[in-house]
Amino acid sequence: MSVHRPPGRIAVLGPHIVDVLGRPVGEIPPGQGGILLDEIRMTVAGTGGGVAVDLAKLGRRVSVFGAVGDDALGGFLHSRLRSYGVDTAGLVAKTGVVTSSTILPIRANGERPSMHVLGATGLLRVADIDRAALHSAEALFLGGPETMPALLEPDGLELIRGFRAGGRPVFADCLYGGDPETLTRLTGLLPLLDWFLPNDDQLRALTGIHDLPTAARRLIELGAGAVAVTMGGDGTLLVRPDHADVVVPAYATTVVDTTGCGDSFDAGLVTGLLAGCAPEDAARLGNACGSLVATGLGSDAGIVDLDGVVAVIETADPESASRIRELVPPADDLHRMREEVAATCREVAARGVAVGGAGNISLRVGDQVLITRSGLRLEAATASDISVVTLDGDLVRGARPSSETGLHLGIYRRSGTGAVVHTHGMSSVAVGLVADELPRVHYNILRLGGRVPTVAHHVFGSAELARATGDAVAAGARAVLLRNHGSVSCGTTLDDAVENAELTEWLCDVYLSAARLGSPALLTPDDLEAVAGQATRLGYGER
């Protein structure tokens, strides 16, 4: 069993581009004609931004460096990258310059002609880069160095040489197709690279050599440490000094759009190599990332987290997946905590607390909240089904979170609650229909704060529902009935929240059972105060 060390930060230096994509586009209408599309998206892209997003999804801590414009698109890049947990302090805004951007009409077969605005990318200067921040990283990924001329000049090469002098690896990929003249400009950089990661078309264009192994060995002759060549559906070619060439097969996928597949491969390969995987297994991670990204529109599609990527490998090659899991560390304690939330979901479903597997569960971890994804049936929950959001609701990791995320965040922002369970239990729904608060039928209501109020009906997922529930919890309630909806229970820990959810439903059961027999005898506030005093004297409930 491997002992995982916490993964360090990766510096990504390269083009940060806004992609606007639409699909499917059969043809561009002539004149002022129009067509209807199924989907239009705007994403973070480029061999800087796209790789950074995928690394963050795989659980790596990432800092980005590059140039953007001082326009709305530059603001979009900052905001979207931060939503993935990426540190954007190294993105400099060039005054009076537009952000690099691309329009991509995606054909039905996934092909992607492009229309590009060069923008700010090529204006990056070595003086723009915070050396201390760059050198604090564990590894450096250079995306599209051919697009940033300053990096290929003596000062830029010295910056990279200084980084590598600390024994830290440097990886690079190209953004454009290239030609032999581009290779000439890259000659000073190649000896500083541990891995160069072009695709097959780029490699052939750079070297003028059609045979891929021969072309890759030409780059090694020029100083590159090793070369990984992505070949689309034909997999990845690995070429290293003193090793036989290896082709790692691609994984079957349904292609919607190939935008960003190369970026995702880079993220997977780098993640694997830094974790100590053999290059073949690292390439498997990269290929699996690419197969997932191809299934959706845009460079940020497909990948949810590392678990989902390894699951692709496991389907075809369980032995390789097992090796990778042994070496590739979870991002940090968040992985373990996501597993814990998922296990709680399955337990809640098994114990019958969640009717029909519906409901949502969350856990606060510092300034972040782990919450079940949208549309999840609790009995089927895995770690990859647990999204991570900020207290402001920005998605950090995982799939689109529950529609009731606002409800949970409203509680966390108004109280010291550590975990929340929301279910649609039959008895709690029934009591909420007829009572303004849960009748005090048993002294165990003290464990729920002594009072379980009913909040008025508001549409699920609404700010009004979040505000009303947050107010009730802030006033001391540990459980709240939601009229025509269900219940919410809170606790310091997940176990506390689940126990309070079960207790809420049990108290509702007791009340409804008694009401069928007659008029239930209810405890008064004085009765509850006496019970609380007795419990204190006797140490009731203490272990």
Task: Quickly list DSSP for 390-429.
Answer: ETT--EEESSPBPTTHHHHHHHHHHS---EEEEE--HHHH
Per the structure block, which two tokens stand in for 79? Answer: 């905001």
HEC profile for 21-35? Answer: EEECCCCCCCCCCCC
pLDDT exceeds 60 at position 28: yes
pLDDT exceeds 90 at position 176: no
pLDDT of residue 3: 33
412/408 Cα distance (integer angstroms): 6
pLDDT in tens, 30-72: 999 999 999 899 999 999 999 999 999 898 889 999 999 999 9
Per the structure block, which two tokens stand in for 330? Answer: 């979870």
Intra-chain end-to-end CA distance of the chain, in Å: 36
Would the CA dihedral through 146, 148, 150, 154 be positive or negative? Answer: negative
HEC profile for 101-159? Answer: EEEEECCCCCCCCCEEECCCHHHCCHHHCCHHHHHCCCEEEEECHHHCHHHHCHHHHHH
pLDDT in tens, 96-155: 999 999 998 988 888 888 899 999 999 999 999 999 999 989 999 999 999 999 999 999
DSSP state string for 185-238: HHTTTGGG-SEE--BHHHHHHHH--SSHHHHHHHHHHTT-S-EEEE-GGG-EEE
pLDDT in tens, 458-510: 999 999 999 999 999 999 999 999 999 999 999 999 999 999 999 999 999 99
Residue 391: Cβ within 10 Å count: 13
Per the structure block, which two tokens stand in for 155? Answer: 């000062």
HEC profile for 306-343? Answer: HHHHHHHHHHHCHHHHHHHHHHCCCCCHHHHHHHHHHH
Would the CA dihedral through 53, 59, 65, 71 be positive or negative? Answer: positive
Angstrom CA distances, 407 to 340, 383, 392, 487, 489, stand at 21, 22, 12, 11, 12
pLDDT in tens, 214-244: 999 999 999 999 999 999 999 999 999 989 9
273/239 Cα distance (integer angstroms): 15
323-327: average pLDDT: 88
315-325: average pLDDT: 92
pLDDT of residue 383: 83
Confidence band of 273 (pLDDT split at 50, 70, 90)? very high
| Of 15, 375, 6, nearest in space to 173 by CA | 15
Contact status, residue 265 vs residue 229, Cβ threshold 8 Å: no
pLDDT exceeds 90 at position 178: no
pLDDT of residue 2: 34
pLDDT of residue 542: 55
257/109 Cα distance (integer angstroms): 8
In the block, residue with structure tokens 């782990």: 370
24 cis-preceded (ω within 30 degrees of 0): yes
Phi, psi of 483 (to 5 degrees): -60, 135
Confidence band of 329 (pLDDT split at 50, 70, 90)? low
* Torsion (CA) 407, 412, 415, 421 in degrees, nearest 10: 60
pLDDT exceeds 80 at position 356: no
Q: Which residues are catalytic?
A: 404
Question: In this prediction, what percent of the chain has a pLDDT beyond 90?
Answer: 72
22/7 Cα distance (integer angstroms): 36
pLDDT of residue 8: 74
539/531 Cα distance (integer angstroms): 12
What is the total residue count of the chain? 543
- In sequence order, the 6+-apart residues with CB closer than 8 A to the CB of 73 are 18, 98, 99, 101
pLDDT exceeds 80 at position 27: yes
Contact status, residue 114 vs residue 103, Cβ threshold 8 Å: yes
174/14 Cα distance (integer angstroms): 10
Q: What is the pTM of this model?
A: 0.67
In the block, residue with structure tokens 């990318």: 121
DSSP state string for 474-529: HTT-SEEEETTTEEEEEESSHHHHHHHHHHHHHHHHHHHHHHHHS------HHHHH
